[in-house]
Structure 1
């Protein structure tokens, strides 16, 4: 961020998304799910947004950039070719998992973009 404030609508939208994701994940997966690096980064990014802290955002970007890149390559590889590259996003194509849970997991696609936007 270069001296100008992040828009409030972006902060609110991100916070509303977390307001849906956190309780749903808590009920379905339990609190241990929030120990994944991606989930830690997701929650810390909300703090970074509201504090407008590029330091926090850069810490999260460094921590999850590579894993998120691999997850996205796996997800889009499966989506476009029908084959997984690594198997990290297998659950996204499991019809036994509810669609709303899989839709919430699309935060993996958006998180790197948000982190770069904050920087």
Structure 2
């Protein structure tokens, strides 16, 4: 039986970062903010690095590479062109919040890089996309219970057609199938070819 992968330096860097990020986000943005898939990815990636879990790290690579790249693209577009390409990063220019708090959102760039770097050592767990899909279900349901104005995880209005499908379960199903079919599964296919595969235990 192989020894578990450890990250003796990175694990402490992640924990120290989490010690700053978590309480700051809880105070400034509120506890409900942690329902967002991108915020959950911080907690799960740190847990994956701490435990050396290929499954956790793989799930968060699947869940963040595309979505966080879209976030970064929108922020860069706003910085360069003066307007948002897609939306979702408007808060970065909200002067009501301290600049250092807004800069903590650069975790959107860091988390996929950390996950990918770690996968070089752990390998890619072939059930990573399934775990991410399973985690998305309660996150979407909880998001539906939050203020529609915030549209957390697009649980109220979809990001492309800007439609709120009825009834609510239909809307959540459409968002979930989009995440799985357009983001998770294709990303899984790419990662499973790039990194050494970790076979699920039977």
Q: CA deviation at 1:5?
A: 4.6
Compute the RMSD of aligned alpha carbons.
1.7
Gaps of 5+ in 2: 120-202
Q: Residue 28 of structure 1 aligns with which residue?
A: 28
Cα deviation, 1:51-87, whole Å, max 9, x if unaligned, reads 1112111111112222111101101111222221111
1:73 aligns to what?
73
- Larger Rg, first or second structure (1 or 2): 2
Question: What secondary structure sits across from 2:66 in the alignment?
Answer: helix
1:100 alignment counterpart:
100
Instruction: Say yes or no: does 1:9 pair with 2:36.
Output: no
Aligned to 2:54: 54
Larger helix percent: 1
Q: Answer 1 or 2: higher relative contact order, Cα 8 Å, separation at least 6.
A: 1
SS in 2 for 1:109: helix
Q: Distance in 1 between matches of 2:16 and 2:9?
A: 10
- How far off its partner does 1:6 sit? 4.7
Query: What is aligned with 2:44?
Result: 44
The answer to whether the Cα contact below 8 Å between 1:6 and 1:118 also exists between their aligned partners in 2 is no
Match of 2:87 in 1: 87
**TM-score normalised per structure 1:** 0.88
Paired with 2:6 and 2:115, the residues of 1 have a C-alpha distance of 12
Cα distance between partner residues in 2 of 1:56 and 1:26: 23
CA distance in 1, matches of 2:37, 2:92: 18
Mean alpha-carbon deviation: is it higher for 68-77 or for 58-67? Answer: 58-67
